[in-house]
Amino acid sequence: MSPRQERTVKTAESTVPEEFGPYVVYERLGVGGMATVHRAKKRGIAGFERGVALKRMLPHLAEDAEFINSFVREAKLASMLVHPNIAQIYDFGRVGSVYFIAMEHVDGFDVRKMLRYSNRHKEPLPLNVVFSIMCELCDALEYAHTFVDEHGQPQGIVHRDVSPSNLIVAQSGHLKVIDFGIAKANVRQLHTESGRVKGKLGYMSPEAVSGRAFGPVSDVFSAGVVCHELLTAHPLFSAKTDYDTLIRIHEAEIPPPSRRNPGVPASLDEVVLAGLSRDPERRLQTAGAFREALEYVADQSGIRFSARDVAEWRAKIATT
């Protein structure tokens, strides 16, 4: 890799792009324990260009062969997912020693921003906005959980990191789930040397944080946490320390959303709490069942919802 390719990308205020293989890299969009994400463009022949979100693995992980193999396998699997509520993976490769994934760049912001706005203004999201976001999330999860390859073989895809930072709301109001399948490659990174779980603990299921085997129903629990927080504008499990968060996931009372938001009907309380059962066998078993239950509650409550409702609500916070 040339010195120009290795140079760290400047901050968003910089106007100097970076060349990285066939990509021109612009401002950083995010950073995590596994990779950085930048807005970028891929250049092709005859002036062809495609805007992407370019995720580049952090250099120290390139030395872990087992991690790389898992990352490659999951990236290939995730690239097969084609669904309107899942950000598409376009390209996967390596420039020098740096592995990258180029994915669909969604013009929008993540659900964290919505939650911060709601929490700051003590204003839970309107019910029709929550229904729209959650039904599209459940659609994406159900599609991935039941995905089969060209031979009809189930692939057993579990997101493992359903959390607000991985849920992007586009200007159109539609939801896009990012990092499908990639989180599985990061499972080995969930524990520190002392064995303590780290990461987005506040959205993980009890079985996940305990290191037990888990599957699609664990994603359902995470979706339940997101739904509860959208309805209440308040964190459900997240606390100041990882230890306190873990204790809350395992032991804290899970109150019905209506306790903080009287506008939530009792039937919606029941659905959310069913998705948040600590016992995986007593929990809502599929994302499809979660969506059906939400649609039934909306129908019985006379609540109509669409992506347009989300677009109109998000417009007022887009510049905050």
Active site residues: 161
Contact by Cβ (8 Å): 271, 256:
no
CA distances for 169 relative to 46, 79, 129, angstroms: 33, 21, 11
Cα separation, 190 vs 205, in Å, equals 13
| DSSP letter, residue 165 | G
Contact by Cβ (8 Å): 272, 220:
no
Number of residues in the chain: 320
Contact by Cβ (8 Å): 191, 209:
no
User: And the tokens for 313?
Assistant: 């609500």
Vertex 99: Cα angle to 98 and 104 (nearest 5): 125
Contact by Cβ (8 Å): 119, 233:
yes
Q: Sort strands 18-20 and 89-95 into parallel, antiparallel or unpaired.
A: unpaired
